[in-house]
Amino acid sequence: MLVLVLSFTAPLWRPFAVDQQDLANRFALPSAAHWLGTDKLGRDILSRLFTAGAEPLLASVVMVVVAFAVGVPLALVAAERGRLAERSLSRSTEVLLALPATIILLAVIGVIGPQTYLVMVVLGVLLSAAVYRIMLGVAQSVRQRLYIDAARVNGLGSLRVNVVHVLPAMATVIAIQAAQLFGIGLLIVSGLAFLGFGPAEPQPSWGLMINDASQHVYDDPWLMVPSGLVLALTVVAANALADSIAALGTPKPANPRRHSPSRVSPVSPAIVPPRVTPKDPAAVLEVCDLTVSVDGGPALVSGVSFTLRPGTVIGLVGESGCGKTMTARSLIGLLPEGVAVTSGSILWQGRSISGLPERELNRIRGREIAMISQEPMVALDPLFSVEYQLTGPIRRFRSVGRRAARRIAAELLEQVGIVDVERVLHSYAHQLSGGMAQRVAIALALTGQPKLLIADEPTTALDVTVQSEILSLLRRLVSETDLGMVLVSHDLGVVADICDDMAVMYAGEVVESGATSEALAHPEHPYTIALLGANPHVPEGQPVPARLASIPGTVPSPGSWPRGCRFANRCPFAQAQCREGFEAVPAHGDGVVRCVRVRELAGIEPLTFIESSEVPV
Split at pLDDT 50, 70, 90, the class of 278 is low
Domain total of the chain: 4
Q: Where are the alpha helices (DSSP H) in 82-166?
A: 83-98, 101-112, 116-142, 146-153, 158-160
User: Is 267 part of a structural domain of the chain?
Assistant: no
Which CATH number does the domain housing residue 470 bear? 3.40.50.300
Whether residues 485 and 524 fall in one domain? no
**Angle formed by the axes of helices 224-248 and 206-214, nearest 10°:** 130
- Cα–Cα dist 617/606, whole Å: 16
**356 found inside a domain:** yes
One domain, residues 293 and 215: no
Supply φ then ψ for residue 244, to 5 degrees.
-65, -40
Check whether 97 has a pLDDT greater than 70.
yes
pLDDT band at 113 (very low <50, low <70, confident <90, very high): confident
> What pairs with residue 291 in β-bridges?
343
pLDDT tens track for 530-579: 888 887 776 677 777 667 677 888 899 998 888 889 998 888 888 888 88
Nearest to 506 by CA among 477, 526, 487, 520: 526
Same domain, 218 and 334: no
Regarding whether 427 and 305 lie in a shared domain, the answer is yes
pLDDT tens, position by position, 44-66: 999 999 999 999 999 999 999 99
- CA-nearest of 180, 159, 203 to 53 is 203
Residues 438 and 524 in one domain: no
Domain of 123: which CATH number?
1.10.3720.10
Cis peptide bond N-terminal to 253, omega within 30: no
Query: pLDDT category, 463, cuts 50, 70, 90?
Result: confident
Residue 321 Rama label (left phi>0; alpha psi -120 to 50; beta): left
Sign of dihedral through CA atoms 530, 532, 534, 539?
Answer: negative
Q: Are 332 and 153 in contact (CB under 8 A)?
A: yes
Q: How many CB atoms within 10 Å of residue 448?
A: 23
Are residues 444 and 342 part of one domain?
Answer: yes
pLDDT computed for residue 604 by the predictor: 64
Q: Are residues 350 and 414 in the same domain?
A: yes
DSSP string, 45-65: HHHHHHHTTHHHHHHHHHHHH
Dist. CA 174–CA 55, nearest whole Å: 23
Q: What is the pLDDT of residues 9-45, one digit of tens each?
A: 999 999 999 889 988 889 999 998 889 989 988 999 9
Any domain includes 477: yes
Q: Does residue 159 fall inside a structural domain? A: yes
Q: Indicate whether 282 pLDDT > 90.
A: no
Answer whether residue 608 shows pLDDT above 70.
Answer: no
Among 87-96, 138-147, 246-255, 296-305, whose mean pLDDT is lowest? 246-255
56 lies in the same domain as 204:
yes
pLDDT at 228 over 70: yes
Is 125 domain-assigned?
yes
Query: Would you place residue 386 in the very low, low, confident or very high pLDDT band (cuts 50, 70, 90)?
Result: very high
The pLDDT-based confidence of 277 (bands split at 50, 70, 90) is low
pTM above 0.75, yes or no: no
Q: DSSP code of 220?
A: -
Looking at the domain assignment, is residue 7 inside a domain? Answer: no
> Mean pLDDT, to the nearest integer, of 416-430?
92
Among 152-166, 257-271, 278-292, name the one with the lowest average pLDDT. Answer: 257-271
Do 528 and 478 lie in one domain? The reply is: no
Which domain, by its residues, includes 488?
A: 285-499
Least confident of 142-156, 432-446, 569-583, 599-613: 599-613
**Residues 89 and 207 reside in one and the same domain:** yes
Q: Is residue 411 part of a domain?
A: yes
Q: Tell me the three state secondary structure of residue 314.
A: strand
On whether both 238 and 296 belong to a single domain, the answer is no
Q: Are 106 and 232 in the same domain?
A: yes
What is the percentage of the chain residues whose pLDDT exceeds 90?
44
Give the pLDDT confidence score for residue 605 in this predicted structure.
60
**DSSP of 478-539:** HHHHT-EEEEEES-HHHHHHH-SEEEEEETTEEEEEEEHHHHHHS--SHHHHHHHHT--PPP
Q: Is residue 234 a part of any domain in this protein?
A: yes
